[in-house]
Amino acid sequence: MNIIDCGTCGNKAAESVTTDVTSLKECKIIVDNVPCYNCEKCGETMYLDSVAENIERIVRLLKNDMGAIIYTDYAKCLSSVSIKTA
């Protein structure tokens, strides 16, 4: 398990997964199983730059889909579009 320093409080943040929710004017995009780091002290969730870039790509790709709520899995999206892996 990888551990990094929290950018908010400086404590240790452990490797984990989370659900990212992006609310747009026209819809809400929910991406499950996103790799992240969670701070043990303050609870801050942090993404590696590559993961944040992938989430942005996923949102751009899916925001044009019809529907008010779009749910997807991070790993499944990575396999279906050309996105960098973490």
Per-residue pLDDT of 23-82, as tens digits, reads 887 788 899 999 999 999 999 999 999 999 999 998 888 877 766 777 888 888 777 655
Looking at residue 47, what DSSP letter applies? -
Amino acid at 70: I
Determine the pLDDT at residue 9.
95
The whole-angstrom distance between residue 66's C-alpha and the CA centroid of its chain comes to 21
Domain 3-80, second-level architecture: Roll (3.10)
Q: Whole-angstrom Cα distance, residue 46 to residue 3?
A: 11
Q: Domain residue spans in the chain?
A: 3-80
